[in-house]
């Protein structure tokens, strides 16, 4: 079953979708999905929709929301910061864990790109995250932001592909000890990353490997881009994720 939901976070309405496996009277494993920078709860090539539906068939529920300023949620993208999205991701997890049909002993996070950064930082600070899945996690987000500084308006706002972003974005993400905070997570982790990712180089996931050590399963998808924008790449991405979550539920 798929249904639209809303939740309030810091005075803004976040809009999302919940997928509940067929027997809604039972408690199910559940996954919170966090989208990437300029993304939304559907994600490129419908990746999050496809993942949600495959998980539902496997008896695993999911929630996926637009962060504020993205997709259908309230707010302006130009006000976005990584810290604000971390706060919203925490609220989304609380919403999920409070669902009557969610098994509190079997909760997971999936994050893509910037959503992967957010999931990695937040996981050790949440209660009950059984395992973690990161798709091309953007531990280099500060570098990505700095590359965009050359396109600014008179107020100093960055122009990111036709979207304005506040000048404090880079300072905010630089203030976050991404790998230091991520290292505190002690559960099992899956990372899926394309070997030809030009946006978030594979070396970023090698840094995660250094902190997660034997708890990490790193799957390198040969020749895949950041968006996994070929059918075979996306099938590998989603199939590997479903297999991992089913194994750990």
End-to-end distance of the chain based on CA atoms, in angstroms? 19
Q: What pLDDT score was predicted for residue 149?
A: 54
Which of 242, 245, 249, 228 is CA-nearest to residue 47? 228
Give residue for tokens 């962060």: 67
- Other CB atoms closer than 10 Å to residue 156's CB: what's the count? 10
Mapping DSSP onto H, E and C, the string for 229-245 reads CCHHHHHHHHHHHHHHH
Question: Distance between CA atoms of 220 and 232, rounded to whole angstroms?
Answer: 13
Q: Which of 227, 230, 241 is nearest to 198 (CA)?
A: 227
Exposed/middle/buried for residue 66 (C-beta within 10 Å: 0-12, 13-18, 19+): buried
Relative to beta strand 129-135, strand 12-19 is: unpaired
Q: pLDDT tens-digit profile of 7-42?
A: 999 999 999 999 999 876 689 999 999 999 999 999
Q: Are 212 and 189 in contact (CB under 8 A)?
A: yes
Closest CA to 186 of 149, 137, 131: 131
Residue 109 and residue 132 in contact, taking contact as beta carbons nearer than 8 Å: yes
Domains and CATH numbers, the chain: 2-140+179-248 (3.40.50.1820)
Confidence (pLDDT) at 234: 98
Query: Over the stretch 218-230, which tens digit does the pLDDT of each residue have?
Result: 999 999 999 999 9
CB 83 within 8 A of CB 63: no
Q: What is the predicted pLDDT for the residue at 8?
A: 96
- In 3D space, the residue among 62, 113, 119 whose CA is nearest the CA of residue 86 turns out to be 119
Residue 160 pLDDT? 82
226 vs 10: CA distance, rounded Å: 31
Low-confidence ranges of the chain (pLDDT < 50): none
Residues whose CB falls within 8 Å of the CB of residue 51, separated by 6 or more in sequence, listed in order: 33, 62, 110, 238, 241, 242
* The pair of three-digit structure tokens given for residue 109, joined into one six-digit string: 């996070």
How many residues comprise the chain? 249
The pLDDT assigned to 167 comes to 85
pTM of the model: 0.96
């Amino acid at each position: 079953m798929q249904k639209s939901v809303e939740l309030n976070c810091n005075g803004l309405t976040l809009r999302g979708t919940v997928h509940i496996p067929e027997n809604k009277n039972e408690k199910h494993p559940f996954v919170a999905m966090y989208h990437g920078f300029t993304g939304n709860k559907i994600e490129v090539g419908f990746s999050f929709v496809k993942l949600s539906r495959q998980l539902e068939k496997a008896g695993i529920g999911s929630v996926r929301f637009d962060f504020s300023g993205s997709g259908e949620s309230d707010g302006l993208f130009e006000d976005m910061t990584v810290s604000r999205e971390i706060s919203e991701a925490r609220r989304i997890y609380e919403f999920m864990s409070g669902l009557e049909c969610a098994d509190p002993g079997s909760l997971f996070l999936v994050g893509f790109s910037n959503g992967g950064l957010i999931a990695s930082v937040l996981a050790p600070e949440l209660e009950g995250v059984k395992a973690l899945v990161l798709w091309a996690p953007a531990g280099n987000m500060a570098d990505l932001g700095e590359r965009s500084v050359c396109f600014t308006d008179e107020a100093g706002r960055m122009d990111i592909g036709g979207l304005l972003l506040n000048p404090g974005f880079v300072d905010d993400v630089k203030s976050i000890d991404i790998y230091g905070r991520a290292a505190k997570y002690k559960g099992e982790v899956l990372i899926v990353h394309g070997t030809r990712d030009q946006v978030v180089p594979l070396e970023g996931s090698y840094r995660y490997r250094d902190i997660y050590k034997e708890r990490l399963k790193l799957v390198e998808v040969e020749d895949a881009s950041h968006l996994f924008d070929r059918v075979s790449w996306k099938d590998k991405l989603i199939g590997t994720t479903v297999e991992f979550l089913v194994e750990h539920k």
